[in-house]
Amino acid sequence: MVHLIVLTDPRGRRIGFDPVTKRAWQALPVAQGDINFDDLGRRSTCWGIVQVCGPIRGTYKLEVIALKTTAYSVSVLGRSKEVLDGNSLQSHFSKTDLNNLAIRKQSREIVFLQYSRGPRENVTAQLQRGHESLSRLSSSD
């Protein structure tokens, strides 16, 4: 496995596994995660998904922990609460991506995710590296 993650919600509840401290968390209600290792063709790639049902508004902290030097990408999808629009319920989807980010073995990178359930509000992601931070704003569908 190339890297693992820990996701912390605005209330401090976590899901994930930290191989450095050897700790695992599953404190987010109605959340699930899965990371799969795929070595077909010796590509040594991993992919994973963390799904939080009924997320709360606020800033989430995503920690990417590298077991070896590699690159990673993160896609964040958000869905607003449903609102009545005429005779039907409508919700707004937004997405933001951080692609091909280099990470060194035994290092940890932090991505802050801003989420709101409000209609027409987009999810955002901000990568923090040491004293510098690189912001990426979302794009809506």
Q: What's the chain's average pLDDT?
A: 77
pLDDT for residue 72 is more than 80: yes
CB within 8 A of 69, min separation 6: which ones?
102, 103, 104, 105
pLDDT for residue 32 is more than 50: yes
User: How high is the pLDDT of residue 1?
Assistant: 47
pTM over 0.85: no
Q: Quote the Cα angle for 76-82-83, to 5°.
A: 135
Predicted confidence (pLDDT) per residue in 83-102, tens digit: 888 888 888 888 888 888 88
Handedness of CA 85, 55, 63, 59 (dihedral sign): positive
pLDDT for residue 135 is more than 50: no
Cα separation of the two ends of the chain = 32
